[in-house]
Structure 1
Amino acid sequence: MDTRGALAVGHLLAERYHILSVIGRGGMSTVYLAEDRKLPGKQWAVKESRKHSGHKEMFYEEAALLIRLDHPFLPKIIDFFPPNEEGFSYLVMDYIQGETLQQRFIRKQYLPCSDVVKHSIQLCELFDYLHNFKPRPIIYRDLKPSNVMIDEQNNVRLIDFGIARNYNEERTADTVQLGTVGFAAPEQFLNRQTDERTDLYTLGAMMYYLLSGGKHYGIASGDRPVEELAEDLPVAVRKVIFQLLAEQPEDRIQSAREVKLRLQEGAGEPVAFRSTEERSHGSQPDRHSGKRRLIVLGGLYPGAGATFIAIALARLLNDADIPHALIEHAGNSPELHSLLFGERHAPVEYRYYTDPDFLPERPVDLRWKDGRTEWLPLPPDRKLEGEWTADHYYRLLYLLDYPVAILDISNRWCDPAVQQMCKEAELILMIADPYPSKFNGPDTQESLHFVEGLSNKAIYWIANRDEAFSGRKEWLSTLPQPPLCLIPSFAGKSLLDAQWKGRIAQDDPEILDTLRHVCEPLLSLIAATAERGGRKRSAWLAKWFK
């Protein structure tokens, strides 16, 4: 293929851009260094391409997309020219003085682990921006060392958006499968849909290449051994790399922001690894450095009392002076706002976490706080734009600077986002009450099967509305394990009095004192050092299904 460009040194493009030299050439494009005649002394990179020859509409669509992008790790597009009669189109963009990661790797033959991790974290920040771009995410799909520039400040700039595209969740496969062998994800060669996780695979493949002396993962001899990676690479970072390189997208880390957090934790979070945004806050402490626990809490079936227990746990953590947040799952029917008397107690300009403009750096007076509790209910009118996924929750949990977050899922155990959060949770609490008519419903059985599959998770049962009755012993024996807590059936008068007085029932002194006593094992579990590893469960399903 003829890779010579149509422009010559000395040419004046559009009576403005004076071509000074050729910077680089590829299969379909040539990049020139140009001087701006309207802005003397200003230099730009001009990319000439035949990719859109005969397809002006596609060029305008791509150019319009690129011009809208605005991120410190992307070169800014400032001008463009559609395909001419010879089929050449032009993009004018920032000229980045530096070298590509590939050039640096070849020149040095070795890159320090700290540099690779730093640049990978920066790429995670950029992918997080692209993957959350509106109206649709942008999937880059061709990450490799030769497409990553390192500027004079030792920061990354991602170049060559030749095969980037908007993600369309309605499509089951890409129209064109492209990627670079050695870095492309398996789905790019199997006629499958690519999505955000495709970019995360390519990030893992690039890290492996740079940290193994230039070996490609999975080429020729199958998956490469871990011993090929640099010896001084932290174990936690190795784990991240191999998670990113999982063959199935669902087995990878699911969001760029989560990858960034794990890389920061694995590398010890030195200041040099913090994002531009984090560094801009000066000497403020890193609010994400502490261990945060996610507790997923739900009823085995509707009406088991999951929200009552969730509020009770929140008030007990407040009583124990443990900062925390209570999140009402986006798939629930809105209930928490009403139980908390939101019309009276929510901040005047309160933003619900499901709002598109929910802000990361929210002023304290816009947080709905009650002592050590932050409430995150659903809007009572239930106007939720789009479906909430696990990635949404990763972002939300990243923003919540509390040691404990409680996710009240009602009985939505079969929701894909809930199931992913269960895999990330420190504790899973299952709520059941003594009404046997609810045990054998099809949704209950499906929830039980899902829970049975979480063999490596710490799952605890809570018996709600416990009181003396003829079948109490049989009821408790049907649970897969002895309940961690027995929550009594509180008098209806106490609950009604609290409701009609506009107070949270769990704040009633008598109710709170009882909860302190019966929930002591749960509070000790939360406060203790993390107890990982689930409990093996015997063949108890027959008791529920008979």
Structure 2
Amino acid sequence: MNYQSKLKAGQVLGERYLIKRLIGSGGMSCVYLAEDLRLPGKRWAVKENAGIGPEYDDMAKEAELLVKLSHARLPRVVDYCLPDADGYCYLIMDYIDGVTLTQYMQQHPGPLPGRLILDLARQLLEVLLYLHAQQPPIVYRDLKPANVMLSESLSLTLIDFGIARSYAQGSLRETVNLGTAGFAAPEQYEAGPCLPAVDQYGLGAVLLYMATGGHETRWRSGMEARLRPVVDHGLIPVIRRLLRVHPDDRYPDAAAVLEAVEQVRSHSDPHGARQKMRIQPPHRSGQQPPTVAAVLGAAPGLGATHTSLALSVYLSGLGPTAWVDMNLESPVHERLQQMFGEETELLSPAGSEGAAFSWQNIHFWRPGAEGSLTGVHEAGYTYVVLDLGTGEGSGGLQLFAASELPLLVASGADWRLEETLRWLRRCGLAPQPKWNIGLPLAGPLAQKLLQEHIGLGRVLELPFQRDPFQRKGKLAGALRSVVSGASEMNAEAVGRGFFKI
């Protein structure tokens, strides 16, 4: 059903919910972000549905289901607005801050990491176990990437219960077997009740979708060979069984699926896997020294590390790139290695005192004692990105001044510009033509004012981007201008390597 929404930004629903913006829409409903006027700072998702026919019945049943449920991976329903004179009704529920699995895969093209697929499979099975354990069991019936929300920490929430139904044992009829083509089980296209095995098929389709980079949802000839390089070999027969055409050929229940997935997880040791895959940095004798980019924060918490990672991602598309954590007290290097899991490969740099690993064509380094970078300058990188933090220790300010791509991250708030100028005077660094000063979320006025005060260098906005490893977007565009500006000044640059300091 396509209809004209009655809501718009600035409107207040039920004298309480201030509509901010549209965050999703489909053929049967729209979802808006709203602020609670009674609870300042609290945000909700408002789902709008129109019509007094089957569509209203669906929404009423969705509300009935969700009100009775309580699970960490399901949104709570907190309010329900009855149909108005035009037949529009509204469901107010938890706002899930994140992206759908569909959006996440668009931001990360290609098959998802095998360990992540296992983690998401376990999380989905947690909520399916809960739903199927209800009396009578609740069959979700529409498991697909668009209905899986992921938080920044990749914790998932299952949304949109518009077609979920309670299955009564012995029921001979099912009113409508809805589902999404490609993810719906074969029996959903037939008359008769939808059993919990329907959700097993949907799970298998989602797992296959993730493992093939969004290209496949049905088992085809030769699929096993395609999956071997991507997922743990033990997961392949699990996916195959979930996608069996006949429900009786799938697992007895969600608990049996979870047991099979956990068995695969227990035999998938990311640390052991990494130890078997040690690679060498891209050493090439006789090559000129790398171009060094140094990212420095004028104060803690401004996003210097975030920016340095985003810059590394952009530069890795131009040539072999290394990211170096120059803050010896920082846990970032270890956390990144844990986050990437089994997808990382340990580096074996000859004569290096530091630790390094590789992920998606970027080498992540942690210096040796006292910030020693022995081995990095001999590795043959085209670009080396230094995360200097706030410049404390390891000669951070000197490394920043000597680099060819110096990027100072300062506050973009108008009222903190004077703070940036005081920092420059205090540290004793004189702005240079090659300098770039990035202001997160700054407006044109802040850029103009700071540019007028420092004179030399360039001041630019650093647009917000939640994921620093996203290869496309406004932040990548801003960093592209940093690199291109440095290329234009390359002939006038003084010195190429910070290693000789």
Contact 2:205 2:218 in 1 (8 A): no
In the alignment, does 2:70 pair up with 1:103?
Answer: no
Cα distance in 1 between the residues matched to 2:269 and 2:10: 45
In the alignment, what sits opposite 1:509?
Answer: none
Q: Distance in 1 between matches of 2:243 and 2:56?
A: 37
Return the alpha-carbon distance in structure 2 between the equivalents of residues 131 and 108 of structure 1. Answer: 32
Q: Deviations over 1:285-305 (max 9, x none)?
A: xxxxxxxxxxxxxxxxxxxxx
> Aligned pair in 2 of structure 1 residues 99, 230: CA closer, same or farther (>3 Å)?
farther
Question: Could you tell me which amino acid in structure 1 is paired with residue 117 of structure 2?
Answer: V
* Per-residue deviation, 1:190: 2.1
> Are 2:148 and 2:156, in contact at CA under 8 Å, matched by a contact in 1?
yes
- CA change 1:33–1:56 in 2 (3 A) is closer
Confirm or deny: 8 A CA contact 1:140 1:165 kept in the other structure.
yes
1:216 maps onto 2:216 in alignment: yes
Kindly indicate whether the alpha-carbon contact (under 8 Å) linking 1:183 and 1:202 is maintained by their aligned counterparts in 2. Answer: yes
The count of corresponding residues between Structure 1 and Structure 2 is 269
In 2: Cα distance, 1:82 partner to 1:230 partner: 51
Q: Whole-Å Cα distance in 1 between the matches of residues 86 and 222 of structure 2? A: 45
Aligned AA (2:247)? P
In the alignment, is the contact (CA less than 8 A) between 2:118 and 2:261 conserved in 1? yes
Instruction: List runs of 5+ in structure 1 lacking aligned partners.
Output: 273-546
Distance in structure 2 (CA, Å) of the matches to 1:92 and 1:198: 28
Residue type at the aligned position of 1:115: L
Q: What is the distance in 2 between the residues matched to 1:271 and 1:48?
A: 45
CA distance in 1 between partners of 2:269 and 2:94 (Å)? 28
- Counterpart CA distance in 2 for 1:42 and 1:164 is 28
Q: Per the alignment, do residues 164 and 112 of structure 1 end up closer, same or farther by CA in structure 2, a change over 3 Å counting?
A: same
Show the counterpart of 1:133: 134
Does the CA contact (< 8 Å) of 1:98 and 1:149 recur in 2? yes
Q: CA RMSD in A?
A: 2.2
Aligned ranges 1:68-467 → 2 under 5 Å: 68-110=68-110, 111-134=112-135, 136-218=136-218, 225-229=223-227, 231-268=229-266
User: Which residue pairs with 1:33 in the alignment?
Assistant: 33
SS of corresponding position for 1:177:
coil
Quick check: 1:79–1:91 contact (8 Å CA) kept in 2?
Answer: yes
SS at the partner of 1:235? coil
CA distance in 2 between partners of 1:52 and 1:112 (Å): 45
3-state secondary structure, aligned to 1:79: strand
Contact 2:114 2:211 in 1 (8 A): yes
Change (3 A) 1:57 1:27: closer
In the alignment, the residues of structure 2 paired with residue 270 and residue 95 of structure 1 have an alpha-carbon distance, to the nearest angstrom, of: 34
Distance 2:253 2:199 in 1: 10
Query: How far did residue 269 of structure 1 move?
Result: 6.1
Q: Residues 212 and 230 of structure 1 are in contact (CA less than 8 Å); yes or no, is this contact kept in structure 2?
A: no
For residue 25 of structure 1, report the CA deviation from its aligned partner.
1.1
Amino acid at match of 1:206: V
Assess, with a 3 A threshold, how the Cα gap between structure 1 residues 54 and 226 changes in structure 2: closer, same or farther.
closer
- Give per-residue Cα distances to partners, 1:125-154, cap 9 Å, x unaligned: 1000000113x1100000000100001231
Question: C-alpha distance in 1, partners of 2:234/2:3?
Answer: 43
Between the aligned partners of 1:268 and 1:80, the Cα distance in structure 2 is 43
Distance 1:54 1:239 in 2: 40
Whole-angstrom CA distance in 1 between matches of 2:42 and 2:106:
30
Aligned residues with identical type, % of pairs: 41
Matched to 2:10, the amino acid is G
Q: 2:6 matched to which residue of 1?
A: 6
Give CA deviations for 1:282-337 in whole Å, capped at 9, x if unaligned: xxxxxxxxxxxxxxxxxxxxxxxxxxxxxxxxxxxxxxxxxxxxxxxxxxxxxxxx
Aligned partners of 2:62 and 2:161 also within 8 Å = no
Query: Residues 49 and 59 of structure 2 are in contact (CA less than 8 Å); yes or no, is this contact kept in structure 1?
Result: no
Query: How many Å separate the matches in 2 of 1:198 and 1:48?
Result: 27
* Shift of residue 162, structure 1, vs aligned partner: 0.9
Q: CA deviation at 1:117?
A: 1.3
Cα displacement string for residues 192-232 of structure 1 (whole angstroms, at most 9, x for unaligned residues): 3211111011000111111012223348xx66622232513
Is this contact kept in 2: 1:149–1:158, CA < 8 A? yes
Q: Following the alignment from structure 2 to structure 1, what is the Cα–Cα distance between the partners of residues 58 and 30?
A: 19
* CA gap 1:169/1:52 in 2 versus in 1, 3 angstroms: farther
5+ residue gaps, structure 2, are 271-501
- What CA distance in whole angstroms lies between the structure 1 residues aligned with 2:24 and 2:73? 20
What is the match of residue 16 of structure 2?
Answer: 16
Q: Distance in 1 between matches of 2:200 and 2:99?
A: 23
Q: Which amino acid aligns with 2:263?
A: E
Q: Is the 8 A contact 2:218 2:243 kept in 1?
A: no
Q: Secondary structure at the match of 2:130?
A: helix
C-alpha separation in 2, matches of 1:162 and 1:8: 23
- Asked if 1 retains the 8 angstrom alpha-carbon contact of 2:113 and 2:230, the reply is no
Residue aligned with 1:73, SS: coil
